[in-house]
Structure 1
C-alpha cells in the first residue's frame, strides 16, 4: 500500500481525522504510518475491546499524539508556514489568548499577535481558492501530465521531484528488468532518475513494519548485488529511517 499516495490523495477532512476508510478492502488506514484496521474485527487495546474505527482513532492518539502534532511538524515545504507562523499556530491551538502569548514570549504586543491571526486567516482563504483552482485543473489534465506524489520523508523538496507519471513509468522500465518487476540494471546518476528508482525500490518495504539490517539487506540483494549502496541512498533520500545502532529500519513517514 502506497501510504504517501493515500495521504496526498485524501480529502481535507480525512487528513484532519488522520485516517481513511477504503471500502474495497473494508479497512481503516492510518494516514500517518499506514497501520490498518479491518472493519468487523475487534481490536484489544489497554485491556478494552474496540471496533475498527475506534481502534484507529486510539492508535493515532497513542502512537502519534495527535494529527495536529504530526501535521504542524511536517517539513515547511509541505505546510508553507514560516517558523513564526508555526509557533503562533501552536499557541492558538493551545487556546492561549493574545495576552498570554505575549507573556509567554516575554515581549511584543497583543496587536502583533492579532496581526498574526489575521494573516493566517487570509492564508486560509487563499488556500481554499487555490485548492479549488487545482481541483478544476486536475479535472482537465491527463494522467500523463500529472505529477507523482512526493514521499513524506523527503529530506529536500525541489525541482528534482517535478516528475510526471509518464516519466516515472519510462524510467522504471528503463532501469529495471521485467518492466519494473526484476533486478535493477544500474543506478542512474541523474538525481531525478535516482529518486524515481529509489522510490520504486522503497515499495518493497511494508509501511509501519520494523526490519533488522539483515532483513533489509536480504530484500535489497534481490534488487542489486551492491545492497549497501542502495541501503545508504534509501536512508539519505528519506525513504527509510533507522535507529542509531542500525538495529532497526522502517519506512520513513
Structure 2
C-alpha cells in the first residue's frame, strides 16, 4: 500500500490523530479506511458514532499512530536504528535508567544526552518544515512525484519519477488500459515499480490467497505469473508464508 498524498498533505494535528475529516466522512491516513458520517457502527457489542469508531479503528488495526509511523522505513522517518529504538522505549514510558539498562549502553546521563539530540532534531525538523511550506508558495515548477508505498523494501531514486511519467509508462505497458494484460515486463527498475503497483491493485487487500488463487489472478495479467509473483514480493507489495501456501498484500 502506498502512502497517499492525503497523508503527506495532512497537518501535524491530523497526522497525530491519524485521520482527516471531509464533509461526508472520516478518512484514516494510515490505510485509507473511510468511515461515513451519520452511521452508527457496532464494535464488540457497543454502538459508536463515526468519529469515535474511526479512533477505535486506528487502535484496533494499527495499535496507534506512533506504532504506524515508527515502523516506516528509515528513509521516510530520517531516524537511525538506534534513534528508532530509543523513541520506542521512551513512548513506552520507560525512565532513562530503565532505557539504559535495557539497551546496555553508557549511563542514565548518556540517555539524557540522546534525549537532547532528539530534541535538537525536532527543532531542525520544524525549521525545515516551515522552509518547505514557504517554498511551496513560491515554487511554481515543482513536479508531483510518485508517492512511496509504505511496505517498500527499497526506497531509492526509483521513486524519482513524476505522476506524468507514471501515466506514460502505464499506457505503454498496458496498451488496453491498466485492467488489461501486460504487454511486456519492463527492464528498468523505475518502470517495474510502476507496473507492479498497477498489478498489486488487482489483489484484494482483505483476502488471503493460496498459490493457485494468486496464480489465477496474475496469469490474467501476464503469462509469466511466477516472475510477477516474485517481484511483487521483492518490491514489498506481497508477502507469504515460508512454505508458500498463503499470500497476501502487505499493509
Shorter-chain TM-score range: 0.7 to 0.9
Cα deviation, 1:66-90, whole Å, max 9, x if unaligned, reads: 2212211222121111122112212
Task: State which of 190, 210, 222 in structure 1 corresponds to 2:207.
Answer: 210
Tell me the equivalent position of 1:90. Answer: 88
Secondary structure of residue in 1 paired with 2:93 = coil
- In 2, Cα distance between equivalents of 1:86 and 1:112: 16
Cα deviation, 1:6-26, whole Å, max 9, x if unaligned, reads: 333333222221223343xx2
Structure 1: state its 5+ residue gaps: none
Kindly report which structure 2 residues correspond to 1:7-18, keeping only aligned pairs within 5 A, or say none: 7-18=7-18
Give 1:141 shift: 4.5
When the two structures are superposed, what TM-score results if normalisation uses the length of structure 1? 0.86
Using a 3 Å threshold, how does the CA distance of structure 1 residues 178 and 138 change in structure 2: closer, same or farther? farther
Tell me the equivalent position of 1:21. Answer: 21
Cα deviation, 1:25-61, whole Å, max 9, x if unaligned, reads: x232333333332211211111111112111211221
Kindly report which structure 2 residues correspond to 1:237-252, keeping only aligned pairs within 5 A, or say none: 237-252=235-250
Q: Is the 8 A contact 2:3 2:150 kept in 1?
A: no
Give 1:227 shift: 2.6
Aligned CA-pair RMSD: 2.5
Q: Is the 8 A contact 2:20 2:28 kept in 1?
A: yes
Using a 3 Å threshold, how does the CA distance of structure 1 residues 249 and 142 change in structure 2: closer, same or farther? farther
> How many pairs align?
250
Q: Is the 8 A contact 1:28 1:52 kept in 2?
A: yes
Matched, 1:156 2:125: no
Using a 3 Å threshold, how does the CA distance of structure 1 residues 163 and 212 change in structure 2: closer, same or farther? same
Q: Which moved more, 1:183-192 or 1:82-91?
A: 82-91
Matched, 1:226 2:220: no
Q: Is the 8 A contact 2:2 2:149 kept in 1?
A: no
Structure 2: state its 5+ residue gaps: none
Using a 3 Å threshold, how does the CA distance of structure 1 residues 21 and 241 change in structure 2: closer, same or farther? farther
Kindly report which structure 2 residues correspond to 1:42-61, keeping only aligned pairs within 5 A, or say none: 42-61=40-59
